Amino acid sequence: MINVRIWNENIHDKEERIKAHYPQGIHGALAGIFSDCENVRVTVGLLDDEDQGLSEEALADTDVLIWWGHHAHDKVTDENVSRVIRHIHGGMGFIPLHSAHHSKVFRALCGTSCNLRWRHGDRERLWVCDPHHMIARGLPDHFEIPAEEMYGEPFDIPSPDETVFIGWFSGGEAFRSGVTFHRGGRIFYFQPGHEEYPVYLNENIRKVIRNAVYWAAPCEREHRCIECINAAAPEGEKA
Ligand code: ZN
C-alpha cells in the first residue's frame, strides 16, 4: 500500500472559472488519478486545515507527498516546512507540481532561487527524454497540452539527477519540465498544471503523476525492483 498525501493551498480552486473544470478542486482532480489504484490510499491536506494539513501524524503516515501551491507559499509556516523537509530527508517521496517550484520546501531542497521565465497562454509539447524511466512508462515519445502557462529556461535549479521530460512551447521556449532529485526521498518536479486550464484531466499527465508516485514511494529493499513496482501498480499497468 502506498499512502499518497495531496497537499493544496486551495485558493484558486474557489474561483468560478477554476471550478468550471475542477469542481472538486485541484486536489480533487489529482485524487481522481488514483481512484482505480487498489494499492494507493489518498489523503488530502489543505492550507486551511488544522496544522495546515501538514501535521506530524499526517506526514508520518505519508509515503509520497504531492504539492500544489502558488499564491500562498509564504503562508506555510517555517515549522511546517521544516517538518516536511525532515520527512523527505527520511525517505518520503515529494512531487512538487507547476508553481510549487517556488514553494519554500522545494527552494530549500534545491538551495537555489528556482526562478524561471514565464508567460501566460501557450501550447506545450512535452518530449520524453528518458523513455526507459519508470515515470515515462506507457507514454508516447511526445504529447501536447493545448493550453498551458509557459515556463522557460533559465530554470535556476541545481543540475537534476535525471531529466525525464523537456517541454517546448509554441512561443519558442524550452524548459526542463520533469526532473528528479534525491534528497533522502525521491523528488520529481513536474511543470504542467496551471490552474486556468484543465491540465490534470489530460490522460498522459495523469499517467505521469501516477507513475511518479510509484517511482517516488520509498521501498524497503535496497534497490527498487520490478516486483515492487508491479505490486504497487494497478492491473493493466504492470511492467
Ligand atoms: Zn501557473
Identify the band that residue 221 occupies on the pLDDT scale cut at 50, 70 and 90: very low
Each residue of 153-184: pLDDT tens digit?
A: 999 999 999 999 999 999 999 999 999 999 99
Q: What distance in angstroms lies between residue 7's CA and the mean position of ligand 1's atoms?
A: 16
3-state secondary structure of 24: coil
Supply the DSSP symbol for 54: -
Superfamily name and number for 2-111+178-237: Class I glutamine amidotransferase (GATase) domain (3.40.50.880)
Q: How far apart are CA 4 and CA 34, in angstroms?
A: 9
Q: What distance in angstroms lies between residue 26's CA and the mean position of ligand 1's atoms?
A: 12
For 154, the grid coordinates are: 533559465
Whole-prediction pTM value? Answer: 0.93
Q: What distance in angstroms lies between residue 99's CA and the mean position of ligand 1's atoms?
A: 6
Phi then psi for 18, rounded to 5 degrees?
Answer: -85, -40
Q: What distance in angstroms lies between residue 150's CA and the mean position of ligand 1's atoms?
A: 8
Q: Where in the chain are the domains?
A: 2-111+178-237
